[in-house]
Amino acid sequence: MIVTIVEKYRLLAERLYTRTLSGDLAWEYDDLLEILSTKVAGRDIFLSSVTNDNGEPAIQVELSNPATNRRERFLDDDINGKWPKIEGYESYWKLLRALYDYGVRLATGADKDVDDILSDLDDDIPF
């Protein structure tokens, strides 16, 4: 069976999402360039929020192999056409947007800050 590059990119997007939620991937965020990055199998993976050719918001995924200086990139537009296998997402734009937003929160510590505050307030919240 031949697997197309689009199918591989879809699978990559889904695995990046699930591995991020499970805490298996450590993301870094460059707030000046607004680029989220991680490393898997010796390759760099970058996510950025961009505008597509139609002027609409898109998420770009870039793969970089430092050993060969080879780069490859795709937009969520390139892999749409099927729904992601991740429940609750009806497009790859929404899946990759959620990954980008959550990755930024993890990388900047914003998510941990809210968790710490909620933990401190846990017994003090009047209901």
- 107 occurs within a structural domain: yes
Residue 29 forms beta bridges with which residues?
A: 36
Domains in the chain, number: 1
Rounded to two decimals, the pTM is 0.87
Position 50 scores a pLDDT of 96
Q: Which of 105, 26, 104, 100 is nearest to 62 (CA)?
A: 100
Per the listing, tokens 């900047």 go with 108
Position 124 scores a pLDDT of 60
Position 51 scores a pLDDT of 94
- 125 occurs within a structural domain: no
As a whole number of Å, the end-to-end CA separation of the chain is 57
- 85 occurs within a structural domain: yes
- 122 occurs within a structural domain: no
- 126 occurs within a structural domain: no
Position 77 scores a pLDDT of 93
Position 127 scores a pLDDT of 36
pLDDT in single tens digits along all 127 residues of the chain: 778 999 999 999 999 999 999 999 999 999 999 999 999 999 999 999 999 999 999 999 999 988 888 899 999 999 988 889 999 999 999 999 999 999 999 999 888 888 888 888 876 654 3
- 124 occurs within a structural domain: no
Position 116 scores a pLDDT of 83
- 45 occurs within a structural domain: yes
* Three-class DSSP category at 82: coil
Q: For residue 70, what are the domain limits?
A: 5-117
- 66 occurs within a structural domain: yes
- Among the residues of the chain, which ranges form H helices? 5-21, 76-79, 92-108, 110-121
